[in-house]
A and B are shown apart, each in its own frame.
Chain A
Amino acid sequence: MGIPEIEDAGCLLCFGYNGADSHPIVARRIVRGKQKGMKIICVDPRVTETARISDMHLQLKGGSNLALVNAMANVIWNEGLADIKFIEEHTNGFDEFLKVIEKYTPEYAETISHVPAEEIRKAARLYATTKPAMILYGMGVCQFTQAVDVVKGLANLALMTGNFGGPSMGIGPVRGQNNVQGACDMGALPNCYPGYQSVTDPEIRAKFEKAWGVPLSDKVGCAITHVPHRVLEEKDETKRIHAYYIFGEDPAQSDPDLAEIRETLDKCDFVVMQDIYMNKTGLHADVILPSTAWGEHDGVYTCADRGFQRIRKVIEPDPGLKTDWQIIQEISTAMGYPMHYENTEEIWNEMIDLCPSFKGATYEKMEKYGSVQWPCRDKSMEDKGTPYLHKGGKFATKDNRGVFYATDWHPPMELENDEYPMSLSTVREVGHYSVRTMTGNCRTLRNLEDEPGWVQMNTQDCERMGLVKGELVKILSKRGYCITRCLPTDRVKPGATYMTYQWWIGACNELTNAKLDPISNTPEYKYCACRVEKIKDQEWAENHVKELYDEIRTQMGITAGKGDH
């Protein structure tokens, strides 16, 4: 489905997705949908903006997603609300699926999710009986060790109710970053060439070998979250990683368990960082290559609903800089694999001719239509791309049939305990982006929200601990600690804490748990155990935060701009 279609859905199941902070313009569609009478079911441990205007808010306990999803499927089936015709014509694996969800009665799910059984029933009925029904999910689903299981669980709900193959329905991961969809499209993945063509498929590999003129490896590569293990703990010498070429990323800020990442970068023989800003990763890099920023180069981004859209050079960059692709091209040539492209369109045309589903998305088409949603297979101007997938219930599987898949719920990897009695989850700051090197240098965005950020805590917890709004507190986990300001709110449940992840001082990734989903390799950012401690001497704390902040800046050689807070 496309973003514009959100406001025409009959029902929206918003599962672990906070549009207002992650994508205000997508939240705009949700608000407009509500005005048009759309029913909203919001599943989130916090009272998010969507929850606030929802018809039903299932405020589940963090880490209980799959129990709830299986229970909704259980209700839909047992109350005869499934679309039997669609299931028979377009899907496989329904019977095994039924066996697994059998025990997930709403009563059982209530014990895990703390959502009343009756609420689960009502929500399942509302979803199943209001057509068309759309599911949006975000990091609240993906950043768990059961991420893939829950995504498949949500897909089951859509399959069971025939909510595929038409507008304003289906299931949509709202991709967080401006070009994360594009990076995946381009094959910056250990198991895929561009266009999601598998590296282990001999025919595909042969095609790329012919195109690029060299033999290619058939071994699936290393995921970014496995790098620490492959540097620090890998015994097998042939598997150890000795060089790390980091381009447009800041793992020392955005990876979980930052202490481990810093050690990884220090122990790795050769680290290259190619970025527009000095950042925490740069403190550990052996070579730093300065590239042009957004606004200083041309190219294409893919937005969350598969739309290819042009980015254009708005101002001339500092002459001493090179674009990312020029740098990569020159290094490749110096290493003996010559690359000589003149501009991004030349690279783009090479790429789309290697990817059947992108073949028709030319620069010319983007210029004319503004946005081209893939698949767009035909270069002629008539093929304007595909607003939504699986038209007519045809799926991208061998037999075009959707597959049911269900499995049992298991708790997050690290639960609250005596030493760390509260849970911590990472969340989004609306006015800042990713590791904040861009927005942190925008004057008015910095004015709105600055170091050391906040930890959202339930008002009763704060009263019990004698904490008031704005007070600096220390928050610790097994892996580390950081200092941030306390924000008492009734929007979170007792025992739970929430922090945004882009602060240098309030760096919650010092605390997060690096345990991964076995399939997607995504870390469990949304759940770890932590402890909050009151800091008696607030004056010391305020100065200490300033000192830490200035210390990092001096390490990075920053002199101008006090940047005080």
Chain B
Amino acid sequence: MALKEIQSTCAYCGAGCQILFRVDEAANKIVEAVPANGRTNAGTLCLKGHYGWDYLNDPQILTKRLRKPMIRKGGKKSPLVEVSWEEAIQYVADRLNEIKAKYGPDAIMGTGSARGPGNEANYLMQKFMRACIGTNNVDHCARI
């Protein structure tokens, strides 16, 4: 069966290496990752580029993929309860609005992410903090 080939950028260090993935579409799984001829990596990869993708099938070696939204309904330290997306989104919106009303927009802090999500998600997050919440309290782990 012909494997679909998709090129993407490695998610690990800043070198921005190009990786070619060979994917079994029917089974929705990656079969192999080989170096692509990117500007910075020129057909080579390190160990994370070659072998850093099989976390996608959730082997739960260290921790597990999050699957469902969860809320600690009983307050701090109470157990997490799985909820629907609608309930989770509404709950976050209400609580943030409530805190914004009570203490003002600068009482809310948001982060961007220097890792997996990508530029568009970061743009949206800082737009959300600035336009929706109304504060410049947004930062990310460039410092840490």
Q: Out of A188, A227, A290, A561, which one reaches B61, CB within 8 Å?
A: A561
Cross-chain contact B136 with A334 (CB below 8 angstroms)? no
Nearest-CB distance from B122 to chain A (Å)? Answer: 4
Interface residues on A, range: 35 or more
Complex Cα–Cα for A302 and B108 (A): 27
Residues of A within 8 A of B47 (CB): 24, 430-431, 444-445, 448
Q: What are 24 A-B residue pairs whose CB atoms fall within 8 Å in the complex? A: A177-B141, A182-B122, A183-B114, A186-B119, A217-B106, A243-B107, A254-B141, A286-B75, A287-B69, A295-B21, A303-B40, A315-B30, A321-B67, A334-B93, A337-B132, A347-B123, A370-B39, A371-B38, A430-B46, A432-B48, A433-B13, A434-B115, A440-B55, A504-B62
A464 in contact (CB, < 8 A):
no
Residues of B within 8 A of A444 (CB): 47, 51, 54
Q: Name A317-364 residues within 8 Å CB distance of B.
A: 318, 320-325, 327-332, 334-337, 339, 341, 344, 347-348, 350-351
Interface residues on B, range: 35 or more
Q: Name A164-180 residues within 8 Å CB distance of B.
A: 174-180
Cross-chain contact B8 with A314 (CB below 8 angstroms)? yes
The interface bits of chain B over 61-102 (1 if a CB of A lies within 8 angstroms of the residue's CB, else 0) are: 111111111111001110010000100111111011101001
Cross-chain contact B65 with A318 (CB below 8 angstroms)? yes
Cross-chain contact A331 with B128 (CB below 8 angstroms)? yes
Q: Which 10 A-B pairs have the closest CB atoms?
A: A188-B112, A248-B113, A303-B16, A299-B118, A221-B136, A304-B14, A290-B66, A334-B93, A440-B62, A24-B46
Known contacts A179-B118, A321-B67, A324-B117; A563 and B23 CB within 8 A of each other = no
Whose C-beta in chain B lies nearest to the C-beta of A309? B9
A86 in contact (CB, < 8 A):
no
The interface bits of chain A over 16-39 (1 if a CB of B lies within 8 angstroms of the residue's CB, else 0) are: 000000111110100000000000
Cross-chain contact B39 with A307 (CB below 8 angstroms)? yes
Nearest-CB distance from B144 to chain A (Å)? Answer: 5
Complex Cα–Cα for A288 and B65 (A): 12
Q: Out of A245, A288, A438, which one reaches B110, CB within 8 Å?
A: A245
Known contacts A222-B137, A314-B23, A337-B132; A522 and B114 CB within 8 A of each other = no
Nearest-CB distance from B142 to chain A (Å)? Answer: 5
Complex Cα–Cα for A286 and B91 (A): 11
- The stretch from A63-71, A100-108, A109-117, A234-242 touching chain B is A234-242
Cross-chain contact B118 with A334 (CB below 8 angstroms)? no
A97 in contact (CB, < 8 A):
no
A-B contact count (CB 8 A): 489
Q: Out of A225, A282, A442, which one reaches B54, CB within 8 Å?
A: A442
**Residue among B39, B49, B63 with most chain A CB within 10 A:** B63
Residues of B within 8 A of A347 (CB): 120, 123-124
Cross-chain contact A556 with B120 (CB below 8 angstroms)? no
Complex Cα–Cα for A90 and B121 (A): 38
Complex Cα–Cα for A277 and B60 (A): 10
Complex Cα–Cα for A216 and B131 (A): 7
Cross-chain contact B61 with A446 (CB below 8 angstroms)? yes
Residues of A within 8 A of B63 (CB): 277-279, 437, 440-441, 553, 556, 558
Complex Cα–Cα for A246 and B110 (A): 6
A53 in contact (CB, < 8 A):
no
A452 in contact (CB, < 8 A):
no
Q: Out of A220, A225, A272, which one reaches B92, CB within 8 Å?
A: A272
Residues of B within 8 A of A230 (CB): 109
Residues of B within 8 A of A214 (CB): 131, 134
Cross-chain contact B6 with A312 (CB below 8 angstroms)? yes
- The stretch from A76-84, A189-197, A395-403, A412-420 touching chain B is A189-197
Q: Out of A184, A523, A558, which one reaches B142, CB within 8 Å?
A: A184
Known contacts A183-B140, A269-B99, A347-B123; A558 and B109 CB within 8 A of each other = no
A540 in contact (CB, < 8 A):
no
Complex Cα–Cα for A534 and B81 (A): 43
Residues of A within 8 A of B80 (CB): 288, 557
Known contacts A174-B14, A184-B142; A558 and B60 CB within 8 A of each other = yes
Known contacts A287-B88, A299-B119; A441 and B109 CB within 8 A of each other = no
B125 in contact (CB, < 8 A):
yes
Cross-chain contact A177 with B96 (CB below 8 angstroms)? no
Nearest-CB distance from B114 to chain A (Å)? Answer: 4
**Residue among B44, B123, B135, B144 with most chain A CB within 10 A:** B123
Q: Out of B89, B102, B130, which one reaches A334, CB within 8 Å?
A: B89
Cross-chain contact A563 with B68 (CB below 8 angstroms)? no
Cross-chain contact A314 with B6 (CB below 8 angstroms)? yes
Cross-chain contact A296 with B69 (CB below 8 angstroms)? no
A300 in contact (CB, < 8 A):
yes
Cross-chain contact B44 with A371 (CB below 8 angstroms)? no
Residues of B within 8 A of A302 (CB): 119
Whose C-beta in chain A lies nearest to the C-beta of B16? A303
Q: Out of B111, B126, B144, which one reaches A246, CB within 8 Å?
A: B111
Cross-chain contact A328 with B16 (CB below 8 angstroms)? no
A310 in contact (CB, < 8 A):
yes
Whose C-beta in chain B lies nearest to the C-beta of A439? B52
Residues of A within 8 A of B118 (CB): 179, 182, 297-301, 311, 324, 344
Q: Name A416-436 residues within 8 Å CB distance of B.
A: 430-434, 436
Residues of A within 8 A of B110 (CB): 244-245, 247
Residues of B within 8 A of A184 (CB): 140, 142
Cross-chain contact A332 with B132 (CB below 8 angstroms)? yes
